[in-house]
Structure 1
């Protein structure tokens, strides 16, 4: 395989697939409530994953390991996806949601300092500050609805914050308790835990009514096969070929890609201050995420 495909195009494809998750949610949410749609997504994803686990003779962890994976699933899948979908459902634009949860590397770095005792460099502290400043600029404009751009309901910030905290703590928890587990087995256990969580939420809080329109079916199908299946398979390939670090370095591109997609598909617009804030936040995340190459000598 040509080196340019292995080192750039495949990681970039993974990042693009990740960005479309926000778009798929926005397409499908007019026809189903968030937890209901996510419960269906988890259920439909488990079927091909089970087939993949059988074909690859997946090694399953013990009960204790499965419990840790279930907690990770509740945080990374349950809180993250639930928060994102509810924020979009209640009026926050896909681009702004993507930008807020795109601060995940920043919050993860802070959580790693607090819970894992990891150190943070001066450059990373600068990145943390820039990331927070950038999001503050975006929210200052969006909450006020300035520059002819519609504002966002303040309550949606609670859901976006839940998503950000969930994926950040889930990442640290997985790093502490979930390493060395077969990727297919780990993914299945996480999706099962999240599916039960979404199913319970849909039963207690929602009507569970679904309008099976072509648009909803397309959105759900893309979320299942484009995101939950294809993105996972690409991630497996990246890890196997030692390119997972490149994915982390490219993740800061997700918010601008999502914003561009949302503008093209939904005419979602950001005003000048929000665009500047988004750029500042992206630079901040890049400073935290991208590691300097070791000095030659």
Structure 2
């Protein structure tokens, strides 16, 4: 039951990020929005760490285990990859007018990539049922994103979704290889602070740190900080540690259709029958892949 709840939280919160960027509208540039999002997120998490430090010994011992310098640098590296590079590449692809469907399709290759690397490094099972499930999931993403305009995308800009793909895939592999000692609150505090420094630096250097402060921006920041940021990445980290990198990556097949549900509920955007078919196919793909993995393990 715990694993199911973590999986649901991961898919729901992770897919909410696209909605948060839409809520901001024209109040901020993409890098400016990321800079302020991570400034607020890191401040909240560092504050949470400070409160836990002031708590009684048992709570502090569980939530804030002692970290070595290596442990801290591991979280800095994961922060660079999973926050700064991944989100930076996704937002940059959007700013470069890359069709969101292209980005979704390329990033949907992550489960295949992670499964292949895991089978090579740790001899994880990778049988025919799993391969069929991963292929079905990729097809499901293609249906869920709908029509894609390849003509409007510059060849060089198409590298950005691949940068995002490799960055997020690397975090899944490194999380397993390192088995970090940092608790989730410690890990997120270090990761978001690292990303805040990088995004603020880029925003200031490019003159895009300025934002238009209004109700829309405040609502977007709150959404991105709590639901997409803390919720999404906390659930992602918990999923990697309890469910494993391959299954967590497979769950990403469900994020495009759930994003469609978010936009339908928030903005009234219609969901086509093809996208509904993609949602159903995504669920079948996840079930098929997970069952294949369990069968091979047993």
- Same fold at TM > 0.5: yes
Q: Which residue of 2 aligns with 1:70?
A: 76
Relative distance call for 1:198 and 1:253 in structure 2 (3 A) is same
Distance 2:268 2:100 in 1: 11
Distance 1:171 1:10 in 2: 16
Alignment of structure 1 residues 1-297 onto 2, 5 Å: 11-28=7-24, 30-56=26-52, 57=60, 58-91=64-97, 97-98=103-104, 100-133=106-139, 141-143=147-149, 153-154=153-154, 157-231=158-232, 248=248, 251-266=252-267, 283-284=284-285, 286-289=287-290, 293=294
Relative distance call for 1:211 and 1:94 in structure 2 (3 A) is farther
In the alignment, structure 2 segments of 5+ residues that lack a partner are 53-59
Distance 1:230 1:70 in 2: 19
TM-score, scaled to structure 2: 0.75
In the alignment, structure 1 segments of 5+ residues that lack a partner are 145-150
Displacement of 1:230 in angstroms is 4.0
Distance 1:140 1:33 in 2: 26
Verify the 8 A CA contact 1:69 1:178 in the aligned structure 2: no
Relative distance call for 1:129 and 1:91 in structure 2 (3 A) is same
Distance 1:70 1:201 in 2: 17
Distance 1:259 1:140 in 2: 10
Cα deviations by residue, 1:195-228 (Å, 9 ceiling, x for unpaired): 2221232233453221112111101111112233
Displacement of 1:104 in angstroms is 2.9
Distance 1:287 1:97 in 2: 24
RMSD of aligned C-alpha atoms?
3.9
Aligned length: 284
Relative distance call for 1:101 and 1:25 in structure 2 (3 A) is farther
Distance 2:179 2:31 in 1: 26
Other structure's SS at 1:78 match = helix
Distance 2:85 2:286 in 1: 21
Q: Which residue of 2 aligns with 1:147?
A: none
